[in-house]
């Protein structure tokens, strides 16, 4: 098989992973120009599968450490022998993707593996920066966008999407023993987080927290819009589509009276098609409308490091916080292995 045929076969694997793994992203990506759509599918497939390995796999610590190895090999030009890893390595080389960006994702997944808790909205936003806003910044890099204003607005969009996901998945997360709503909100409402995890229920206080989180997401969607309107023209419909599809998930949560504990909100195919049509219209209007002043708003403090990295204004070495998180996970992994060795020796 020729190199070009091999690359196309690898790309087909990435397309298949997204088609079955993320219907919302797959729908929005159809509106992107091919030169951006193909690398964005690679990026999203790599990030999605890494996230699934940590969230749904039996060994999240090992999944994070393996992801570190995958990134090390990809940036050394020696990817693992897997279609997504080969595609990701080609994407790094073609688009000069700063290492600090996938490292931020790695740190967010390390926090998941550590089962870190988030006490304040700022801490939730810090987590969301690493698992979602960073994807928006990497998408900007694929589009050739490196200026700080548009990067900051891409972060706003990523944060809004992640807050929407959290609001939608309160019950699903609780079933896994997780809470991503700020824990100080529980304290304000007089609720005990452990009691909620033992018996998740759509209490009025939980619904109020969910609504509060969706209001924060709405604020960030609005902050993001002038950045979308200033993306390369051919990219605007796809990103407007992502914005409306994810905001529509928030609308579906509200339609359930913010009960995302007893069930999960869904948006149907017809709604997605409607949002795709609206996105094309909004992209066309953005070409003639004046720029909004909020384009120039400072980045949220929780995402400033991502803007610096993508704009080429950050250190290239791995961050101390990531190094510390990986060291803790390695220590956990060593302890687990030693425990297994001890069990094997006692049973021999």
pLDDT tens digit sequence for 283-329: 444 544 556 778 999 999 999 999 999 998 766 667 888 999 999 99
Q: How far apart are CA 22 and CA 334, in angstroms?
A: 34
What kind of architecture, by CATH, is found in domain 98-347? Answer: Orthogonal Bundle (1.10)
- Answer whether 64's CB lies under 8 Å from 54's CB: yes
Q: Read off the pLDDT band of 5 (50, 70, 90).
A: low
Would you list the domain boundaries of the chain? 98-347
Continuous H helices in the chain: 3-21, 23-29, 34-55, 60-75, 83-95, 100-114, 121-128, 134-143, 148-168, 170-175, 183-189, 193-198, 204-228, 236-255, 269-286, 304-310, 320-347
**Residue 73, pLDDT score:** 96
Range from 129-138, 142-151, 258-267 carrying the lowest mean pLDDT: 258-267
Q: How far apart are CA 345 and CA 153, in angstroms?
A: 56
Tally of CB atoms within 10 A around 161: 28
- Answer whether 170's CB lies under 8 Å from 181's CB: yes
- Reference 103, options 68, 138, 73, 78; nearest CA is 68
**Residue 201, pLDDT score:** 97
- pLDDT over 70 (residue 25): no
Which of 279 and 167 is assigned the larger pLDDT? 167
**Residue 320, pLDDT score:** 86
Query: Percent of the chain at pLDDT above 70?
Result: 84
pLDDT, average across residues 83-110: 95
Longest dimension (CA), the chain: 76
Q: Read off the pLDDT band of 29 (50, 70, 90).
A: confident
Q: Read off the pLDDT band of 56 (50, 70, 90).
A: confident
- Answer whether 303's CB lies under 8 Å from 311's CB: no
**Residue 275, pLDDT score:** 45
pLDDT, average across residues 183-209: 97
C-alpha 201, offset from chain centre: 27
The residue length of the chain stands at 348
Which of 50 and 209 is assigned the larger pLDDT? 209
Tally of CB atoms within 10 A around 291: 12
Q: Read off the pLDDT band of 330 (50, 70, 90).
A: very high
Q: Read off the pLDDT band of 30 (50, 70, 90).
A: confident
**Average pLDDT value for the chain:** 88
Q: What angle do CA 115, 139, 281 make, to 5 degrees?
A: 120
- pLDDT over 50 (residue 81): yes
Query: Percent of the chain at pLDDT above 90?
Result: 63
Which of 313 and 147 is assigned the larger pLDDT? 147
| Three-state SS at 96 | coil
- pLDDT over 90 (residue 272): no
- Reference 241, options 280, 214, 271, 268; nearest CA is 280
Integer angstrom CA distances of residue 275 from 241, 260, 278, 280 = 6, 23, 5, 9
- pLDDT over 50 (residue 156): yes
**Residue 106, pLDDT score:** 96
Range from 99-103, 147-151, 243-247 carrying the lowest mean pLDDT: 243-247
C-alpha 144, offset from chain centre: 20
- Reference 27, options 266, 265, 242, 277; nearest CA is 242
Q: What angle do CA 324, 53, 220 make, to 5 degrees?
A: 75
Element holding 233 (H helix, E strand): none
Which of 157 and 335 is assigned the larger pLDDT? 157
Q: How far apart are CA 55 and CA 299, in angstroms?
A: 29
Query: Helix/strand/coil (H, E, C) string of 240-301?
Result: HHHHHHHHHHHHHHHHCCCCCCCCCCCCCHHHHHHHHHHHHHHHHHHCCCCCCHHHHCCCCH
C-alpha 76, offset from chain centre: 24
**Cβ-proximal residues to 162 (8 Å cutoff; 6+ apart), any chain:** 127, 128, 131, 132, 133
Q: How far apart are CA 283 and CA 298, in angstroms?
A: 24
Q: Read off the pLDDT band of 281 (50, 70, 90).
A: very low
């Amino acid at each position: 098989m020729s190199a070009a045929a091999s690359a196309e076969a690898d790309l087909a694997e990435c397309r298949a992973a997204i088609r079955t793994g993320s219907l919302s992203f797959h729908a929005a990506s159809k509106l992107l120009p091919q030169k951006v759509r193909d690398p964005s599918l690679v990026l999203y497939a790599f990030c999605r599968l890494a996230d699934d390995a940590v969230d749904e796999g039996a060994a999240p610590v090992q999944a994070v450490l393996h992801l570190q190895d995958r990134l090390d090999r990809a940036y050394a030009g020696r990817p693992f022998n897997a279609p997504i890893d080969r595609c990701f390595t080609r994407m790094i080389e073609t688009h000069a993707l700063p290492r600090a960006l996938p490292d931020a994702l790695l740190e967010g997944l390390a926090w998941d593996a550590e089962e870190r808790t988030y006490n304040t909205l700022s801490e939730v936003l810090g987590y969301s920066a690493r698992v979602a806003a960073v994807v928006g910044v990497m998408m900007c890099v694929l589009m050739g966008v490196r200026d700080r204003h548009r990067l900051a607005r891409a972060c706003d969009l990523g944060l809004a999407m992640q807050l929407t996901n959290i609001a939608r998945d309160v019950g699903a997360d609780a079933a896994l023993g997780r809470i991503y709503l700020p824990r100080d909100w529980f304290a304000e409402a007089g609720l005990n987080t452990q009691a909620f995890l033992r018996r998740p229920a759509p209490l009025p206080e939980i619904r109020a927290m969910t609504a509060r989180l969706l209001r924060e997401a709405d604020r960030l969607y609005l902050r993001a819009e002038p950045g979308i309107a200033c993306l390369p023209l051919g990219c605007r419909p796809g990103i407007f589509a992502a914005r409306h599809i994810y905001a529509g998930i928030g609308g579906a949560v509200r339609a359930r009276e913010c009960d995302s504990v007893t069930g999960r909100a869904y948006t149907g195919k017809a709604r997605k098609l409607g949002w795709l049509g609206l996105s094309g219209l909004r992209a066309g209007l953005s070409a003639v409308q004046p720029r909004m002043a909020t384009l120039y708003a400072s980045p949220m403090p929780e995402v400033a490091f991502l803007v610096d990295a993508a704009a080429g204004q950050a250190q290239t070495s791995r961050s101390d916080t990531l190094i510390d998180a990986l060291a803790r996970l390695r220590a956990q992994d060593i302890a687990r292995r030693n425990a297994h060795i001890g069990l094997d020796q006692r049973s021999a």
